[in-house]
Amino acid sequence: MYLEHANITVESIEKSMEFLQTAFPDFALRGEGSLMNQSGKWAHVGNDSFYFALQQCDDHLSEISTRYIHDGINHIGMVVEDLDGVTHRLQQRGYDGYETEAHPFRRRAYYFDPNGIEWEFVQYLSDKPKERNLY
């Protein structure tokens, strides 16, 4: 089993695509079009194995919520092989992030995209599941 895609409604597809393609240079636009049942557009950005299905509604309504308190997604975690490369590319494009406390078997950094979505990038320093899952 694996995760094929995640469908996310955003205020700006273009801003989300810029963020994702900065973090993951192998991500490309896989398809795009108009929404069927409402006014707006969609785009699939990713690689041959995984993609994000982004939706942008013309009648966009921003819900004010507090992450980790209200129901919904708190952040999206992506495993990367080179955390330094990801953080360098994001910082070069002006994105601010932060790394978390030191851990013997992983490194993590968090960034917000221009649509307010929090992204976790994690680089595992071990191939052993028991060590990767040591909290």
Which pLDDT tens digit goes with each residue over 73-112? 889 999 999 999 999 999 999 999 998 999 999 999 999 9
Domains and CATH numbers, the chain: 5-58+74-132 (3.10.180.10)
In Å, how far from its chain's centre is CA 118? Answer: 7
Residues of the chain scoring pLDDT < 50: none
| Three-state secondary structure string covering the chain | CCCCEEEEECCCHHHHHHHHHHHCCCCEEEEEEECCCCCEEEEEEECCCCEEEEEEECCCCCCCCCCCCCCCCCCEEEECCCHHHHHHHHHHCCCCEEECCCECCEEEEEEECCCCCEEEEEEECCCCHHHHCCC
pLDDT at 38: 80
pLDDT at 73: 83
pLDDT at 4: 94
